[in-house]
Structure 1
């Protein structure tokens, strides 16, 4: 969990504790019908409140007028870290739709992905395999077909000449068996075709490259206004100038040794040839 996110959650908890002045934690829990431990966790920043929690807290402490203030604090907090538990409450399809909005607002997009093929270049079969694994991990709504269709529709942006995509994969992504071998073969064939696209610059960071920094989480940069980083527990949406500048430097550092064009094509073809399709 990011330090900024945790600090914001602790600050929100302190505000909740301030509003509770004159009421014991046990009494407030009884008024709300909550376990007393929930009151304690919210006040100490060990649990993230929902908007409904905050409205109920404001009313139960006799401060209904501060409900809007509290929910505004929550929006600011969640703009930095958006937990998968909440993001996936209605399934993967709404998450895909929200990302499509960001693509449509942007003209230059940069992506680094060390572990798998980025969603923007996935085949339907590969995307279905990936979504299936994340549904199992997060125990979320199983709307895989809808999510795949939404992802495929977003790929129409690849053919808009006003947009440019810089995408770099670590070579490991070409070999990761997150799907059956025949599906991976189709995915690698798709990548070979992407190499020649006019507004997509696909690079591969070879295994043997001298790394300037250890490969870590994948991220997308949308123009110079937004960075989205995926972690296991949450997406980080970073739009402050300091973090955007950091990820710009990170992009230059991590992707510097990548190869493109014919060299990238050879690495993809080599991975394809190594698949056992028997």
Structure 2
């Protein structure tokens, strides 16, 4: 959860704690008994460690005589939910619309900082690799199968590699070269594509070897767009980070990750080793 969302959740918890105390419940245990909840739930809500549902708000305000605050608090809960976008909501009409939304962001960005420990970044993907990624997403999230259209939108991003003065700083974990997306033929074509984009004048592609010493834990993938936005993808949600202090943390993480990466001939050697590995899969 972003710091903005967490701070909002903690602020909500503080208001709920005030309502409890004003109503004469000296402890969370007393309120939990009145609501027939587990005691730990009251503590988690008051300390911002659990999201409150709308029913939780109604029950809490009912028990503490604060029914007049229900609409305001429910609006707060909904705002917190919006800060953590649910994938299923984004993908309910398919993946193409989500890919389309990213194009204006790419058009405006001057400096990209990309980290992916185990997959090839979308803008570097071949059509076949991207198609398999979207097919997996269709199966996992059970949204309408528009993989072909989504691939087309994703590939539109690639024009920005050749337009303007954009700078691409991309880091991949060595595992990204071996995560088998679509089989050996798809992987070999994808690895060839990586070798090609390495030669583009404004692309800096680094690979962090599996055995490299690290200055920071590898963590999750993220994409930084200038110093204005960071997108973090998880299985359940896409988090948009816009707070300057949080963005600076991702910038710091990226700088530390770069210390473990190899570039140029060394990165090329790692990619060619992965090509050789998939060559052998046909034997």
TM over 0.5: yes
Whole-angstrom distance in 1 between the partners of 2:139 and 2:256:
34
Tell me how far 1:277 sits from its aligned partner.
Answer: 2.8
Does residue 131 in structure 1 map to residue 144 in structure 2?
A: no
Whole-angstrom distance in 2 between the partners of 1:146 and 1:13:
43
State the number of aligned residues: 247
Tell me how far 1:153 sits from its aligned partner.
Answer: 0.8
Does residue 235 in structure 1 map to residue 224 in structure 2?
A: no
- Residue 5 of structure 2: aligned partner: 5
Does residue 267 in structure 1 map to residue 245 in structure 2?
A: no
- Secondary structure (helix, strand or coil) at the match of 1:169 reads strand
TM-score, normalised to structure 1, is 0.77
| Structure 2 unmatched ranges of 5 or more | 17-44, 55-66
Whole-angstrom distance in 1 between the partners of 2:2 and 2:107:
28
- Residue 226 of structure 1: aligned partner: 229
| Structure 1 unmatched ranges of 5 or more | 17-43, 50-60
> Could you list the per-position Cα deviations for residues 54-94 of structure 1 after superposition, in whole angstroms to 9, with x for gaps in the alignment?
xxxxxxx999xx79x97687456524x21112111121111
- Secondary structure (helix, strand or coil) at the match of 1:244 reads helix
- Residue 121 of structure 1: aligned partner: 124
- Secondary structure (helix, strand or coil) at the match of 2:155 reads helix
TM-score, normalised to structure 2, is 0.75
- Residue 210 of structure 2: aligned partner: 207
Higher mean C-alpha displacement, 144-153 vs 4-13: 4-13
- Secondary structure (helix, strand or coil) at the match of 1:274 reads helix
Whole-angstrom distance in 2 between the partners of 1:11 and 1:136:
38
Does residue 254 in structure 1 map to residue 257 in structure 2?
A: yes
Aligned Cα RMSD in Å?
3.3
- Secondary structure (helix, strand or coil) at the match of 1:128 reads helix
CA contact (8 A) 2:9 2:80 kept: no
> Could you list the per-position Cα deviations for residues 98-122 of structure 1 after superposition, in whole angstroms to 9, with x for gaps in the alignment?
1112111211011000011000100
Whole-angstrom distance in 1 between the partners of 2:133 and 2:220:
16
